[in-house]
Amino acid sequence: MESFSKIKSRAELGDIRKEFEAAGKRLVFTNGCFDILHRGHVEYLQQARQLGDALIVGLNSDNSTRRLKGEFRPIVPQDDRAFILASLFAVDFVSIFDEDTPYDLISVAQPDILVKGGDYKIDDIVGKDIVEARGGKVLTIPFVANRSTTNIVQQIVDLTQRGIFS
């Protein structure tokens, strides 16, 4: 039941921002599709959480993921992805967004620290302007080598083509 309580609406994020600001605590924000959760995701989220007092994960909706990753993704539906993320110790809040980018979600959450994976250039990170305008930081965290949903999906495809899965 606790995992469901971590899944928040956009409006609830605004209230959380006010509470954390009043308490002098730092909010960290990251986002992604998080389709087929794997070790790379978990290590990334653990590192992001260590940067502040709470971690908000903006989760691409099924529609948003499909537009970003293609018609056959996500593999895991958004409600399941949100529940799994919310079940992780490192994740304090999850909020699903349907837009192509989390810009509007970031504008409501007003995080103190915005984090993305190492494949992003700081200047290309969506929401950088919002975070820096309030004196926050925008950072990247290196990827865990050879750990990605794309690699997992490719391995399943390869095994299926070899007749291992039918």
Query: How confident is the model over 44-100, as pLDDT tens digits?
Result: 999 999 999 999 999 999 999 999 999 989 999 999 999 999 999 999 999 999 999
pLDDT score of 130 more than 50: yes
Mean pLDDT to the nearest integer, 113-141: 95
Domain ranges of the chain: 2-161
- Dihedral of CA atoms 111, 2, 50, 135 in degrees, nearest 10, equals 10
Q: Decide the pairing of beta strands 54-60 and 93-97.
A: parallel
Of the listed ranges 33-37, 113-117, 142-146, the least confidently predicted one is 142-146
Residue 1 confidence class, pLDDT cut points 50, 70, 90: very low
pLDDT score of 148 more than 80: no
Neighbours of 124 (CB within 10 A): 9
Average pLDDT, the chain: 92
Percent of the chain with pLDDT over 90: 77
Task: Tell me how far apart the alpha carbons of residues 38 and 41 are, in angstroms, rounded to a whole number.
Answer: 5
Q: Where does 2-161 sit in CATH, by number?
A: 3.40.50.620
Q: Provide the pLDDT for residue 96.
A: 98
pLDDT score of 146 more than 80: no
* Cβ proximity of 127 and 151 under 8 Å: no
pTM across the whole model:
0.91
pLDDT score of 156 more than 90: no
Helix, strand or coil for residue 44?
helix
Mean pLDDT to the nearest integer, 134-159: 79
* Cβ proximity of 67 and 100 under 8 Å: yes
CA distances from 90 to 101, 130, 131 (A): 23, 24, 21
* Cβ proximity of 10 and 105 under 8 Å: yes
pLDDT score of 140 more than 80: yes
CA distances from 152 to 35, 37, 75, 122 (A): 10, 10, 11, 27
Q: Provide the pLDDT for residue 61.
A: 98
